[in-house]
Structure 1
Amino acid sequence: MPETILVSDVVRILEDWAPKQYAYDWDNVGLQVGSLNKKVNRVMITLDVLESVVDEAIENEVNLIIAHHPLLFKSIKRINIDQPKGRILAKLLQHNITVYAAHTNLDITEGGVNDMLADRLELSDREVLIPTKQVNLYKLIVYVPNAYVDSLREALAEHGAGHIGNYSHCAFQTQGKGAFKPIAGSNPFIGQEGKVEFVEEVKLETIIKEDQLNQLLSVIKHVHPYEEPAFDLIPLANHGEKIGVGRIGVLSETMSLQQFCEFVKEKFSVPNLRVVGDLEKKVKKVAILGGSGEGFIAQAKRAGADVYVTGDMTFHDSQDANAMGLSIVDPGHHVEKVMIEDVKLYMEMKASEKDLNITFIISEQNTEPFQFL
């Protein structure tokens, strides 16, 4: 177990899951306030960073807040502690609390917010609704002594190498003999300076994603016994999965739009929602996008959705959806709160695997601004 756990250790776990480069260009993800190099032992997960959430973090002696919605989304020109945003920043700095945001990158990544929402609706045959990119793949080839091949292969697999479809730990090994001569200034694990050495080695090949590259090279450096491990990286013409926002899938059974509305209310624990369309219409194929998704009604229709579940729908876009025969269910933006518990469970699991003694808690503050009367 590491003696000192830093914010960067926790952030690394989150970014392995939801890389910052997945986020939209307009988004402001990552460090919001504080430092990546400070010690951490208590982490709070929240949807939003409101003043009540910060007060809760102070009361619970939290060192790090992980939020979905960025605290600093629009630029600020002054910090006035008589204003709400200024008070929040002052409290965070005074109590040495770091804030980190994972927003559209957490929406987009596999298992992220949109998959969490789709899970609640029990959607099967699921696909990405709006692809943003296709993952580039590389073949990673490492030459390693026989005695270390199993430990290196396992370490690479634990960090995501060798995933093909529903299979993990995919790799290929070829036995051979490596040759090298340590020169002046070297500190060889095997061999002597100035003498050519021949070693029985394995050529270990596996497939990796582009965004895993830096991390997996660090794994090689850490696990491989050689001072200078030999490896090759080969870009592949075949691509990985498409990633993007929103999901589309099918319900376990066909139901009326009215029945579906009750289903959504139950699954997302919302007392009310807005609906567009004929309540007697039968729905089976569902598109869902957490947050504000009115800009993608055309994509949902083209994908064959009977109904599109998203928040913050406005009047004219709702009319357009109705005219094109696409039903809309708007349960509000706040249903993204599903990420709080799911992120906590994920981070606890990964921290335990890395033997990091960190306590993760969830914010109990309700950040939903709307009341229904």
Structure 2
Amino acid sequence: MYAKGQTVIGYMEQLAPKHLAEEWDNIGLQLGSLQKEITGVLVALDVNDNIVDEAIAQGCNLIIAHHAIIFRPLKGIQTETPMGKLYEKLIKNDIAVYISHTNLDVAEGGMNDWMAEALGIENGAPIKDIHTEQLSKLVVFVPKDHHQKVLDAILNAGAGWIGNYSHCSFNIEGYGTFIPREGSEPYIGEAGKMERAEEVRIETIVPLSIRNKVVQAMLKAHPYEEVAYDLYSMDLKGRSLGLGRVGKLKEPTTLGEFIETVKTGLKVDHVRVVGDLNRPIRKAAVMGGSGAKYYNSAIFKGADVLVTGDVDYHTAQDAYLAGISLIDPGHNAEKIMKEKVAGWIQGKLAEHKYGTAVYASQIDTEPFKFL
């Protein structure tokens, strides 16, 4: 059984929720339809003619890519132009294209966490905060004999995180009163009679992004026909998510030694470097894509070096004067996402016993040649 397009993208958006994307970004479905069975998914960094040929050869009718094929509004599509030919080829072969860009960069367990892990950066925090989670407090009243079942459902759905602590809740025993009216089917009591039931009041924290999921899990586990619960908006903010990661290295090193770590971890043969190769490196920052303009934020967070692509001459000069080293492995270093995203989606499909195949693109889309 093949998964429908919306199902596949549902898994992708569990990894990289769309609301995490920056306002200027163009993400989501850019071409084709998700209202069909997906025989195969090709995960790519970019979409070009060779990538489309690869999708056709693998029998894939969905490409999930990091970089958009449509970034600005189109005024027309001329099929004699290179991009027009690309769109035509995708449409004729019924291949949909879905983009996950800055939302994948920002997401926990996404692009920048993968890059930080590859470089040995521990407990990485964002270089630039983009999104702070809004929190609600969930309060629900549960009969005592169903307390643990409902509590487990709520917490396992993702509620109850406070910093590095999970499954946080507060539980108070008491008595609830109610009269089941005509036509009701009460779990406890009889229609028309006042009932006094032993109940537990459960309180916990719920991020806005998963509030509906948590409430649905609670309602499914709760035995009552009509569930008494409240959701309170809170001024207290949750986790901050953002671009890049900065943290201490597993072991102190030098800039020269760290360059080799970057080349190995990000699978690149060459890098550009700003700084003294003998400089001690204890804390490092990384940002996928073009992140050189955030070097001051990296300095503020205590980084000795920033690893990012597309460093321009004047920014390199400014960073050098400011006292931070730079390593530029190229924008294409984001190719780390291909295997990671493919593995995530394949795992979700296998868990639900779908036969849709998932492939990480083997095509190198690096446009530069180093001679």
TM-score (structure 2 length as normaliser): 0.89
Q: Are 2:11 and 1:13 equivalent residues in the alignment?
A: yes
- Following TM superposition, by how much is the alpha carbon of 1:198 offset from its aligned partner in structure 2, in angstroms? 6.0
For 2:259 and 2:44, locate their aligned partners in 1 and report how far apart those are by CA, in whole Å.
26
Equivalent pair of 2:39/2:59 in contact (CA under 8 Å) = no
Structure 1 residues 135, 56: CA separation in 2 closer, same or farther (over 3 Å shift)?
A: same
Which amino acid in structure 2 is aligned with residue 79 of structure 1? I
Which amino acid in structure 2 is aligned with residue 33 of structure 1? L
Structure 1 residues 349, 141: CA separation in 2 closer, same or farther (over 3 Å shift)?
A: farther
Counterparts of 1:121-136 in structure 2 under 5 Å? Answer: 121-136=119-134
* Counterpart selection for 1:207 from 205, 208, 213: 205
Q: Which residue of 2 aligns with 1:113?
A: 111
Seq. identity, %: 42
Q: Which residue of 2 aligns with 1:84?
A: 82
Q: Which residue of 2 aligns with 1:172?
A: 170
Equivalent pair of 1:160/1:212 in contact (CA under 8 Å) = yes
Q: Which residue of 1 aligns with 2:325?
A: 327
Structure 1, residues 139-182: CA drift from partner, whole Å, max 9, x if none? 11233455654444334333322223333333334445555566
Which moved further from structure 2: 120-129 or 175-184? 175-184
Structure 2 portions without partners, runs of 5+: none
Q: Which residue of 2 aligns with 1:30?
A: 28
Which amino acid in structure 2 is aligned with residue 360 of structure 1? V
Q: Which residue of 1 aligns with 2:243?
A: 245
Structure 1 residues 92, 210: CA separation in 2 closer, same or farther (over 3 Å shift)?
A: same
Structure 1 residues 346, 159: CA separation in 2 closer, same or farther (over 3 Å shift)?
A: farther
* Counterpart selection for 2:272 from 265, 274, 281: 274
Equivalent pair of 2:111/2:337 in contact (CA under 8 Å) = yes
Which moved further from structure 2: 223-232 or 125-134? 223-232
- Following TM superposition, by how much is the alpha carbon of 1:369 offset from its aligned partner in structure 2, in angstroms? 1.1
For 1:50 and 1:225, locate their aligned partners in 2 and report how far apart those are by CA, in whole Å.
54
Structure 1 residues 282, 23: CA separation in 2 closer, same or farther (over 3 Å shift)?
A: same
Q: Which residue of 2 aligns with 1:295?
A: 293
Equivalent pair of 1:129/1:246 in contact (CA under 8 Å) = yes
Q: Which residue of 2 aligns with 1:338?
A: 336
- Following TM superposition, by how much is the alpha carbon of 1:112 offset from its aligned partner in structure 2, in angstroms? 1.2
Structure 1, residues 122-155: CA drift from partner, whole Å, max 9, x if none? 1124221111232222111233455654444334
Structure 1 portions without partners, runs of 5+: none
Structure 1 residues 225, 14: CA separation in 2 closer, same or farther (over 3 Å shift)?
A: farther
For 2:93 and 2:194, locate their aligned partners in 1 and report how far apart those are by CA, in whole Å.
58
Structure 1 residues 154, 291: CA separation in 2 closer, same or farther (over 3 Å shift)?
A: same
Equivalent pair of 1:246/1:289 in contact (CA under 8 Å) = yes
For 2:157 and 2:354, locate their aligned partners in 1 and report how far apart those are by CA, in whole Å.
16
* Counterpart selection for 2:70 from 65, 69, 72: 72
Structure 1, residues 231-270: CA drift from partner, whole Å, max 9, x if none? 2112234322221101111223333222221221122111
Structure 1, residues 247-301: CA drift from partner, whole Å, max 9, x if none? 1112233332222212211221111111112222222221111100122122122
Q: Are 2:359 and 1:361 equivalent residues in the alignment?
A: yes
CA root-mean-square deviation: 2.7
Equivalent pair of 2:127/2:244 in contact (CA under 8 Å) = yes
Give the aligned length: 371
Q: Which residue of 2 aligns with 1:54?
A: 52
For 1:175 and 1:64, locate their aligned partners in 2 and report how far apart those are by CA, in whole Å.
52
TM-score (structure 1 length as normaliser): 0.88
